[in-house]
Structure 1
Amino acid sequence: MVYGATPAGVAAAVAAGKSGQSVLLVEPTQRIGGLVTSGLSHTDFHSLESLSGAFLDFANRVENHYAETDGPESQSIKDSYHGTFGEPKVNLAVFHTLLDEQPSIELIHHHTLKALSLTETKPQNRIESATFVDPHGNTRTVHAQVLVDGTYEGDLMAMAGVDWRVGRESRDEHGESLAPETADSQLQAYNFRFIMTRDEANRVTPVAPPGYRREDFVGVLDAIESDKIQRVFDYPSKCIFKAHLPVLPGGKYDINDVSRGKVRLSLPGKNLGWPNGTPEERQAIFAEHLRDQVGLLYFLQNDLEVPDKFRQEALQWGWCRDEFLDTDHLPPQLYVREARRMQGAYIYTQADSEYAEEGTRTVFHRDSIAMADYGNNCHGTHHEGPRFGGKHSGEFYHPVPPYQIPYGVLLPKDIDNLLVPGAVSSSHVGFCALRLEPVWMSLGQAAGHAAALAVQQDQPVQQVDVAHLQRQLHADGSATIYVSDVLPDSPDFDAVQWWGAGGGLLKLYPAGTPRKPRGKKLHGQYSEAAPGHAAQLDLPLDAKLEQRWRALAVSIGVPLDALPKANDTTTRGDFIRAAATAAGE
């Protein structure tokens, strides 16, 4: 049973379904897909080489949708950026297709978790059943062998009594330079990801939101007199609404908070009641964010005190007529960047996405079940000064090389049949490197395969053979280590990922090779592949690397007589392929 049809939850359900398990996917709202179908269409990653597994499959399907509907050479194909920039309605359709292809998955909507039944066992407890309630008060009790909490908030995890945390750790607790000196209860801010257009044929004029008060927004007049605000909509800065570029298919824009901007959409402090809040408390926070952000736009478009150049520009923008039809063209979900964080078997921290002592890669995790390349990113946890013209604090954008994510982040310490790919075990700073939709899909995919293995082997999730799990992930196209030149469509993908999981790709570059976390910039936040992360399979196998690789082969049980020796013709690829064949990979 998977609770929460977020991208992590959908990926978990699909992976478990592929592994032959019957799956119940329970979504508390009407709409699946989380933020990917609620406005976050400008996906957060840096290089295309970081995408694999469930998210890459999703993106390929989005691209194929545009090819089929608009043609293989269409502008929509180009605007989708390999399917990573999909319109919400298209993303929603693709998620439904992914679920429909797995006949063993049952999806139910509008069912909220009401209660859990636990049995005390040793050394961990076990969830025996989960009871859900629909809007009419009807209940449904589910007995599942393994449960996955796919929610952004960790709602099932918390009800099960798993340790969790909200707020920021002190700098000393985990040795994190990005953490504050002392621990506090501050929480990364939320905002909406509106989908907007300037296309008159598809444009809906915004109206004043419920509770609109003009006096709440007059302060923006002083802010727009500053040279730090030059437009209402722009990218990436000196504006009020960040209209992400490149534009989405259909002439649509994903609207976001302006990082380090003079006027912000994100509202630190206004969301503190969300993580552990009741549905009613969360709805009130949702409504307050909607009143503030839609109200700001309405003020800029309609108030006569707004300078004409800003008002006329703002009036060119509106909601998309063909999106969010059930919610007046507004996103049905708030962008919950961070809520509860499990304190599980392994706590992911800043150190896990920093460079290792030697080489061009980050710290190595032999039990890695996913990888990413975005880095630690926080839009702020506190606001100082007036609503308009003040300043966020607790904000950071920390570039790091691609990093691995260990299996332990999914595991509670005291429940033996629960996996948590959404509210993963991490510090605040560590979570800020994991809270990205492609990463959540990779973590969900890993949780789904791990759940299936736990069922098949009738064992606690903590005892799942991680090497077996990694092989299943590789076979499903999901990378556990970043390799810039051997991607999931390569016939060598499985072998190279297997060898990398054992440590075979460490220190491939000469000592002193410059460390560069990002490749050459392409556009916006997107870049070429991270340097220093290629396997270079066609390079000759030199004697020093052969010696090191043979030692690794011995340590993982690969017979040495099956391996080629370094000479003028043997390549790195020859060695890895031979090792994989000998190991039965």
Structure 2
Amino acid sequence: MRLLFASLIFSFLIACSSVREGSYEADIIVYGGTSSAITAAVQAKKMGKSVIVVSPDIHLGGLSSGGLGFTDTGNKVVIGGLAREFYHRVYLHYAQDSAWKWQKREEYGNKGQGTPAIDGENRTMWIFEPHVAEQIFEDWVEEFQLVVHRDEWLDREKGVIKKNGEIVSIQTLSGKKYRGKVFIDATYEGDLMAAAGVSYHVGREANSVYGETWNGVQVGVYQHRHYFMDSISAYRIPGDPSSGLLPEISPENPGKNGEGDRRLQAYNFRMALSRNPDNRIPFPKPTNYDSNRYELLARVYAAGWNETFWKFDPIPNLKTDTNNHGPFSTDYIGKNYDYPEASYERRKEIIREHEDYQKGLMYFLANDSRVPENVRNEIGNYGLAKDEFTDNGNWPHQIYVREARRMIGSYVMTEHDVLGAKVVPQSVGMGSYSLDSHNTQRFVTPGGFVQNEGDIGVHPKQPYSISYGTLVPREEECKNLLVSVCVSSSHTAFGSIRMEPVFMILGQSAAAAASLSIDEKVSVQELGYEKLRNVLIEEKQVLENELN
């Protein structure tokens, strides 16, 4: 009997120990593994706060380490704080001779996106290889002794516990529970925000909602070169509607201009391709490859299009950050509408569908006789970079979620803020990129031709401030949550805000606000802005336009 009792006690103690081992507590809980998440965690530690990064991702850095190495800088003068420190560390890396394994430094050139790739005067570099970015984030983890729990996915159904308008704890699918004083959602999807009951929007608002011009449906608006410039039949047999639509064309009516809808700008993968024969892998043929799904691209070539390589942007070591360009490219248009609110299983399906489409596209370009010979020959000089994404078949581990949920918070940024028609209150950072949306749909015109819709690119006259209210939910919805990626903004404003340097800036500012709200024992909404402003200035964030 005593033996049985002792055994029961021992089992009880083991069970209690397991519960304790599965429970974690810190001042600040950051959910996400993006660049914004890591800068938030670094800032929290700098301000003396304990922090745990709960990351669904194994690899840290999101798109910054997931293939987007040709940085969307906009005006780099307004990129400060930890974001600038990141690009300074990129500069230091490529200052070493050992960094140039596949290419001589002097052969690289100095092309960046609207700015030189290497800025020697300011000791920053804006173009980089994916593995270099990831290592910088890992260096921060080590230097600041960040606690990072990887491959931990929020239980979106019942994993968020709230009391008196505050998040008490979150729980992941593995059963781990995290208690904190303030939480930061730094995911591309906004899962914590949504699970906490915070209002959000998916898709495009009607122009009438915020009095905008560039929101909603934009049929016939062509501001980049990502549309069909020639009249190309949408049907399998040209000119014959009874033959059915070609693959990748929607039968849905595109809607009226200015109307809101649930459509999202397209996603893709930012591939790291290599031109070095010793560091490239030929484009693989997907198991479910069907060349006919790319017939539309064949017709584009037949019409004389010749811009295949316009967005094979050079990054160091004879590699590229390869992005979408043209009417039919790496963007998988219209195939992501349910992604933001989809289950994890459905998201995985969507990601696989995008991967199959894009791998098939590259194989088509390299091998199909309908592709002009000069294009096939040039594509033959490229392949997947052998030394990138080595645990994922050299394919990016992060799909480019250009837009998912967007919070409806204390302040909603709109195109009026971005384009300078309004003075933005309580700045926590700045943006400067154009209102940039990729296409949202591919449809049939009344004449039976194919066309894309949704691509816009409207440039602000000058950099603009981003309000603290964009990071903060309405107080009645949640008092201790900040959102640093799926910020409170309209579709058009988010098209400018959604750049990786800005996400880093906002992650740092969100963590500073979280730390101060803990010190002041107030909600994130009640935090006095002047105290936050002083900290951000001390941390070298750029808050106002000083270019006038």
Which TM-score tier does this pair reach, normalised by the shorter chain?
A: 0.7 to 0.9
Change (3 A) 1:330 1:119: closer
Whether the 8 Å CA contact 2:67–2:271 is kept in 1: the answer is yes
Task: Give the match for residue 322 of structure 2.
Answer: 255
206-215 or 53-62, which deviates more: 206-215
Write the letter of the residue equivalent to 1:60.
H
Given the alignment of the two structures, is residue 397 of structure 1 paired with residue 433 of structure 2, yes or no?
Answer: no
**Candidates 298, 303, 309, aligned match of 1:226:** 303
Decide which of 151, 175, 195 is 2:211's aligned counterpart: 175
Counterpart position of 1:205: 282
Equivalent residue for 2:169?
129
| C-alpha spacing 1:481/1:291, structure 2 compared with 1 (3 Å) | same
Check whether the contact 1:384–1:390 (CA below 8 A) recurs between aligned residues: yes
The answer on whether the counterparts of 2:441 and 2:453 sit within 8 Å (CA) in structure 1 is yes
CA distance 1:366–1:167, shift in 2 (3 Å): closer
Change (3 A) 1:428 1:305: closer
Q: Distance in 1 between matches of 2:436 and 2:208?
A: 20
User: Which residue, out of 265, 271, 293, partners 2:358?
Assistant: 293
Match of 2:530 in 1: 467
Question: In structure 2, what is the Cα distance between the partners aligned to 1:263 and 1:441?
Answer: 31
* Alignment equivalent of 1:380, drawn from 439, 454, 464: 439
1:119 alignment partner AA: K
Q: How far apart are the structure 2 equivalents of 1:29 and 1:379?
A: 25
Unpaired runs of 5+ residues, structure 2, are 1-28, 112-116, 119-123, 217-257
Among 493, 504, 509, the alignment partner of 1:446 is 509
1:153 equivalent to 2:189? Answer yes
3-state SS of the aligned residue for 1:250? coil
The yes-or-no answer on 1:23 pairing with 2:51 is yes
Give runs of aligned pairs for residues 297-446 of structure 1, distance below 5 A: 297-356=362-421, 363-385=422-444, 390-400=450-460, 401-413=462-474, 414-446=477-509
**Is the aligned partner of 1:35 residue 2:60?**
no
Residues 67 and 77, structure 1, Cα contact 8 Å, conserved in 2: no
Q: How far is 1:132 from its partner?
A: 1.3
Residues 165, 340 of structure 1: 8 Å contact kept: yes
SS in 2 for 1:262: coil
Task: Tell which deviates more after alignment, 154-163 or 390-399.
Answer: 390-399
Higher RCO (C-alpha under 8 Å, 6+ residues apart): 2
Cα offset, 1:377, TM superposition: 0.6
Is residue 2:81 matched to residue 1:64? no
For residues 99 and 337 of structure 1, the distance between their equivalents in structure 2, rounded to whole angstroms, comes to 26
1:220 deviates by: 2.2
- CA–CA separation in structure 2 for the residues paired with 1:87 and 1:159: 35
Q: Are 1:119 and 2:171 an aligned pair?
A: no
- Distance in 1, matches of 2:37 and 2:306, equals 41
1:237-258 deviation digits (Å, cap 9, x = unpaired): xxxxx212xx211111101111
Matches of residues 517-556 of structure 1 in structure 2 within 5 Å?
A: 533=548
> Among 107, 116, 139, which residue is 1:97 paired with?
139
Alignment of 1:565-576 (within 5 A): none
Q: Is the 8 A contact 2:75 2:463 kept in 1?
A: no
Q: Which amino acid aligns with 2:76?
A: L
Give the Å deviation of 1:66.
1.4
Number of aligned positions between the proteins = 457
The answer to whether the 8 Å contact 1:49/1:483 transfers is no
1:164 aligns with 2:194: no
Whether 1:243 aligns to 2:308 is no
Change (3 A) 1:210 1:66: same
Residues 513-536 of structure 1: CA deviation (Å, up to 9, x unaligned): xxxxxxxxxxxxxxxxxxxx2xxx
The offset of 1:78, in angstroms, is 4.8
Could you list the per-position Cα deviations for residues 472-497 of structure 1 after superposition, in whole angstroms to 9, with x for gaps in the alignment?
1111111111324xxxxxxxxxxxxx
Contact 2:73 2:126 in 1 (8 A): no
Give the counterpart letter for 1:447 in structure 2: A
1:143 is paired with a residue whose SS is strand
- Cα displacement (A) at 1:77: 9.2
Residue 133 of structure 2: SS of its match in structure 1?
Answer: helix
Q: Deviations over 1:522-571 (max 9, x none)?
A: xxxxxxxxxxx2xxxxxxxxxxxxxxxxxxxxxxxxxxxxxxxxxxxxxx
2:373 and 2:336 map into 1 onto residues whose CA distance is 34
- Determine what percentage of the aligned residue pairs are the same residue: 34
- The answer to whether the 8 Å contact 2:441/2:454 transfers is yes
Are the equivalent residues in 2 in contact too, given 1:372–1:482 (CA < 8 A)? Answer: no
CA deviations 1:172-198 (Å, max 9, x no partner) are 110001123222111111111101121
Alignment check: 8 A CA contact 1:116 1:160 kept? no
TM-score where L is the length of structure 1:
0.75
Q: Alignment partner of 1:323: what SS?
A: coil
CA shift, 1:47, in A, is 2.5
**Deviation at residue 427 of structure 1 after TM alignment:** 1.1
CA RMSD of superposed structures (Å): 1.9
Q: Give the secondary-structure state (helix, strand or coil) at the position aligned to 1:139.
A: coil
CA contact (8 A) 1:54 1:442 kept: yes
1:277-303 Cα shifts (integer Å, max 9, x gaps) = 111101111111111111011012122
* One-letter amino acid matched to 1:248: I
Which amino acid in 2 is paired with 1:368?
S
Q: What amino acid sits opposite 1:108 in the alignment?
A: H
Counterpart Cα distance in 2 of 1:335 and 1:319 = 17
For 1:147 and 1:480, the matched residues in 2 are separated by 24
Q: Is the CA contact 1:262–1:390 (under 8 Å) kept in the aligned structure 2?
A: no
The structure-2 alpha-carbon separation of the partners of 1:385 and 1:313, relative to structure 1 and needing over 3 Å to count, comes to farther
Paired with 1:17 and 1:265, the residues of 2 have a C-alpha distance of: 39
Is 1:108 matched up with 2:149?
Answer: yes
Which structure 2 residues correspond to residues 273-288 of structure 1 after superposition, within 5 A?
A: 273-288=338-353
